[in-house]
Amino acid sequence: MNDTRSYVAPFALGETITGGAVGRVIESASDSLEVGTAVLHQHGWTDIIQADAETFRPVPDIDGVPLSVHLHILGMTGLTAYVGLTAIAGLNKGDTVFVSGAAGAVGTAVGQIAKQLGAGRVIGSAGSADKVALLTEKYGYDEAFNYKEVNVREQLPKSAPDGVDVYYDNVGGDHLEAALDVMNDGGRIALCGAISGYNATDRTPGPDNMANIITRGLKLEGFTLANYLDLAPEFREKMSPWFAEGKITYDETVVDGIENTVDAFLNMMRGGNTGKMLVRI
Amino acid sequence: MNDTRSYVAPFALGETITGGAVGRVIESASDSLEVGTAVLHQHGWTDIIQADAETFRPVPDIDGVPLSVHLHILGMTGLTAYVGLTAIAGLNKGDTVFVSGAAGAVGTAVGQIAKQLGAGRVIGSAGSADKVALLTEKYGYDEAFNYKEVNVREQLPKSAPDGVDVYYDNVGGDHLEAALDVMNDGGRIALCGAISGYNATDRTPGPDNMANIITRGLKLEGFTLANYLDLAPEFREKMSPWFAEGKITYDETVVDGIENTVDAFLNMMRGGNTGKMLVRI
Question: What would the pLDDT profile of B20-31 be if each residue is shown by its tens digit?
Answer: 788 889 899 988
Rounded CA-CA distance B224/B154 in Å is 30
Residue A108 near residue A251, CB atoms below 8 Å: yes
Instruction: Check residue B19 and give its pLDDT.
Output: 66
Contact B208 A213 (CB under 8 A): no
For residue B68, give how far its alpha carbon lies from the nearest alpha carbon of chain A (Å).
27
Which of the four pLDDT bands, split at 50, 70 and 90, describes residue A21?
confident
Q: pLDDT band at residue B18, thresholds of 50, 70 and 90?
A: low
Chain mean position to CA B182: 23
Cβ within 8 Å, pair A210-B218: no
Longest dimension (CA), chain B: 62
Q: Tell me the percentage of chain B whose pLDDT exceeds 90.
A: 49
B221 neighbourhood in chain A, CB within 8 Å: 213, 217-220
A3: left (phi over 0), alpha (psi -120 to 50) or beta: alpha
Cα dihedral B252→B258→B262→B264 (10° resolution) = -20
Indicate yes or no: CB of B215 within 8 angstroms of CB of A9: yes
Question: First CA to last CA across chain B, in angstroms?
Answer: 30
Residues in a beta bridge with B191: B169, B222
Q: How far is A31 from chain B (nearest CA, A)?
A: 39
pLDDT (mean) for A58-64 = 80
Residue of chain B minimizing CA distance to A222: B214
Core vs surface per residue A40-56: b (16+ CB within 10 A) or e:
beeeeeeeeeeeeeeeb
Q: For residue B224, which residues of chain A lie inside 8 Å, CB to CB?
A: 214-215, 217
State the helix-helix crossing angle for B76-83 and B232-244, rounded to 10 degrees. 110
Going by C-alpha positions, the residue among B90, B270, B114, B259 that lies closest to residue B190 is B90
B246: left (phi over 0), alpha (psi -120 to 50) or beta: left
- Amino acid code (one letter) for B276: K
Q: Which residues, 6+ apart, have CB-to-CB distance to B34 below 8 Å?
A: B25, B28
Picking from A3, A2, A4, the residue whose alpha carbon sits closest to that of residue A222 is A4
Nearest Cα neighbor of B97 from B125, B71, B74, B78 is B125
State whether B224 and A206 contact (CB < 8 Å).
no
Whether the pLDDT of residue B41 is over 90: the answer is no
A256, with CB counted inside 10 A (0-12, 13-18, 19+), is exposed
Yes or no: say if B105 and B77 are a contact pair by the CB < 8 Å rule.
yes
Confidence of residue A229 (pLDDT cuts 50, 70, 90): very high
Chain A contact set for B211 (CB, 8 A): 172, 194, 197
- CB distance A194–B214 less than 8 Å? yes
ipTM: 0.82
Indicate the range of A7-16, A32-41, B137-146 predicted with least confidence. A7-16
Return the number of other C-beta atoms located less than 10 Å from residue A111's C-beta.
Answer: 27
CB contacts, 8 Å: A208 with chain B: 203-206
Catalogue the long-range contacts made by B28-33 (C-beta closer than 8 Å, 24 or more residues apart): B28/B53, B29/B53, B33/B58
Q: For B48-93, write each residue's pLDDT tens digit.
A: 888 898 888 888 887 777 888 888 888 889 999 999 999 999 999 9
Highest mean pLDDT among A209-223, B63-77, B155-169, B207-221: B155-169
A1/B215 touch (CB, cutoff 8 Å), yes or no: yes
Residues 6+ apart with CB under 8 A from A16: none
Cβ pair A191:B214 closer than 8 A: yes
Angle between helix B152-159 and B173-182 (nearest 10): 40
Q: Three-state DSSP class for A152?
A: helix
Q: Which of A223-227, B127-131, B253-257 has the highest mean pLDDT?
A: B127-131
CB contact under 8 A, B214 and A224: yes
B100: phi then psi, degrees, rounded to nearest 5: -95, 155
Distances (CA, A) of B14 to B10, B11, B29, B268: 12, 8, 36, 18
Are B224 and A205 within 8 A, CB to CB? no
Return phi, psi of residue A224, to 5°: -120, 135
| CB hemisphere CA count around B157 (13 angstroms) | 8
Measured CA distances, A51 to A29, A43, A70, A258, B188 (Å): 10, 9, 20, 21, 41
Find, among B90, B119, B118, B77, the residue nearest to B221 by Cα. Answer: B90
Cβ(A78)–Cβ(A252) below 8 Å: no
Largest Cα–Cα distance of chain A, in whole Å?
A: 62
Q: Cβ contact (<8 Å) for A222 and B224?
A: no
Rg (CA), chain B: 19
pLDDT tens track for A103-155: 998 999 999 999 999 999 999 999 999 999 999 999 999 999 999 999 999 99
Tell me the pairing of strands B219-222 and A219-222. Answer: antiparallel
**Which class for A217: exposed (0-12), middle (13-18), buried (19 or more C-beta within 10 A)?**
buried
User: Which of A195, A208, A209, A210 would you mutate first to test chain B, the one with the most B CBs within 10 A?
Assistant: A210
pLDDT of residue A194: 45
Min Cα–Cα distance to chain B from A101, Å: 16
Structural domains for chain B: 2-74+250-280 (3.90.180.10), 76-226 (3.40.50.720)
SS3 A40: strand
Shortest distance, CA A221 to any CA of chain B (angstroms): 4
